[in-house]
Amino acid sequence: MYELRWQPPYDWAWMLGFLGDRAVAGVEQIDATGYVRSFASGEHRGLIIAEPDEASATLKVTLSEGLQPIAELCLQRMRCLFDLDCNPQEVTTALGTLGAARPGLRLPGCVDPFEQGVRAILGQLVSVAMAAKLTAKVAQRYGDALDERGFLCFPTPQQLSAAQVGDLQTLGMPRKRAESLIYLAQAACDGLLPLTAPEDVEQGVKALQTFPGIGRWTASYFALRGWQAKDIFLPDDYLIKQRFAGMTPAQTRRYAERWQPWRSYALLHIWYTAGWEPEV
């Protein structure tokens, strides 16, 4: 077992709830006590089990035998997924009254940026629950079975790049979304999909919008989760438009500048604070 430390406070109930709502059946299992998922890198594959111990402010991580040779990579992915390197006091101070009520809120990252890109595309214009179900169908169709507790590995870029548009459509997605998915997979195979945050995140987001089927919202959401970029805001988001009623996206963007360089955290606080309104 490995132990990863974090700085309190940490709202684990919220984090596990957020990830649980988006859990991909067969790939992940999430409940109030922890997180279990398959992971594969090269020839190594197995299960990661992560259980927070709030008394000691440590995340207890257990890796199955197949992942022991890449333990450092697995632990790094857990640090990213759970935003364990965050300094909550620094973020809360910067956000002021917005962050005061929930200082333990963290920015959910991802275990695999390509996987997060697939999730972002499949989450377009559907509910969170529908996106999770569709992603699970893709994983079941193209992923490899893992001989541990009935899990399977999320499909690789190579596996999805070889998918047929018509076959993807039978899973319940429009043709253009299927084409976007295959293009993303091919871009990942060709090294054209950045798997870590570029030095200029804003330019990186613009570059993602040149991919077919990826607009500003999807590119920004991918940066938020896939790169765990700390300073992303989504003025075109449906709920953000509701919170900033009467403002144009440009006005909303200017208002959010007060929370730089932590606008990603501000976004989460606004999403999850019922009745929040901007100060006049």
Residues 118 and 213 in one domain: yes
Residue 191 maps to which CATH number? 1.10.340.30
Which of these three, 100, 124, 140, is where a domain ends?
100
Which of these three, 60, 76, 100, is where a domain ends?
100
Which residues are catalytically annotated?
237
For 269, the 3-state DSSP assignment is helix
Residue 163 lies in a domain: yes
Which helix (DSSP H) or strand (DSSP E) does residue 15 occupy? helix 12-21
Please, which pLDDT band fits residue 231 given cuts at 50, 70 and 90?
A: very high
Range of the domain at 150: 113-226
Residues 130 and 90 in one domain: no
Residues 152 and 213 in one domain: yes
Residues 127 and 210 in one domain: yes
Which of these three, 201, 226, 251, is where a domain ends?
226
Residue 125 has a pLDDT of 85
Residues 57 and 123 in one domain: no
Assess whether pLDDT exceeds 80 at residue 279.
yes
Per-residue pLDDT of 5-35, as tens digits, reads: 999 999 999 999 999 999 999 999 999 999 9
Residue 233 lies in a domain: no
Domain count, the chain: 2
Residues 119 and 73 in one domain: no
Residues 62 and 139 in one domain: no
Residue 148 has a pLDDT of 77
Assess whether pLDDT exceeds 80 at residue 280.
no
Residues 66 and 140 in one domain: no
The long-range contacts involving 92-99, CB below 8 angstroms and separated by at least 24 positions, are: 94/259, 94/261, 94/262, 95/259, 95/262, 95/265, 95/266, 95/269, 98/259, 98/266, 98/269, 98/270, 98/273, 98/276, 99/265, 99/266, 99/269
Residue 26 maps to which CATH number? 3.30.310.20
Residue 269 lies in a domain: no
Per-residue pLDDT of 120-177, as tens digits, reads: 999 998 999 999 999 999 999 999 999 878 899 999 999 999 999 999 999 999 999 9
Residue 214 lies in a domain: yes
Q: Are 218 and 232 in contact (CB under 8 A)?
A: no
Residue 251 has a pLDDT of 94
Per-residue pLDDT of 33-46, as tens digits, reads: 999 999 999 999 99
Residues 13 and 86 in one domain: yes
Residue 265 lies in a domain: no
Residue 280 lies in a domain: no
Q: Note the pTM of the prediction, 2 decimals.
A: 0.94
> What stretches of the chain adopt beta strand conformation (E)?
2-5, 28-31, 34-41, 44-53, 58-63
Q: Are 94 and 262 in contact (CB under 8 A)?
A: yes
Alpha-carbon distance 78 to 61, whole Å? 8
Per-residue pLDDT of 54-66, as tens digits, reads: 999 999 999 999 9
Please, which pLDDT band fits residue 229 given cuts at 50, 70 and 90?
A: very high
Residues 69 and 8 in one domain: yes
Residue 244 lies in a domain: no
Average pLDDT, rounded, for the chain: 96
Between strands 34-41 and 58-63, the pairing is unpaired
Residue 213 lies in a domain: yes
